[in-house]
Amino acid sequence: MFYALFFIYIALKYFNVPNKNFFEKVVITIGKSTYHIYLAQMVYFGMLRIQHYDKGFYYIIHILICISAGIIFYYVEPKITKKIELSIKKLQ
């Protein structure tokens, strides 16, 4: 019954490669920041009223803008949150 857990344990323990190339780091960063990318996409398409049915090159540009803004937001948001928390503690 628990043989699947055993296989997963073995795979995680022995097949974990610590050296990651650039492509893997990019995919991991995008994976970690998916919620922030989603939020950036909602603001981008919602506030700017950009049409979803653009063709070809413009569609790729819109996607790259949303992914870039989401990743930037992923790295900036904890710093902003920390500053807000510190300012709230000073007011109390």
- CB-CB contact of 30 with 72 (8 Å): no
- pLDDT, mean of residues 16-27: 79
Question: What proportion of the chain, given as a percentage, has pLDDT over 90?
Answer: 43
Position 13 confidence tier, pLDDT thresholds 50, 70, 90: confident
CA 10 – CA 63 distance, rounded (Å): 38
CA 44 – CA 62 distance, rounded (Å): 9
pTM, whole model, 2 decimals?
0.70
Question: Residue 50 carries which DSSP code?
Answer: -
CA 1 – CA 47 distance, rounded (Å): 51
Position 57 confidence tier, pLDDT thresholds 50, 70, 90: confident
CA 4 – CA 64 distance, rounded (Å): 38
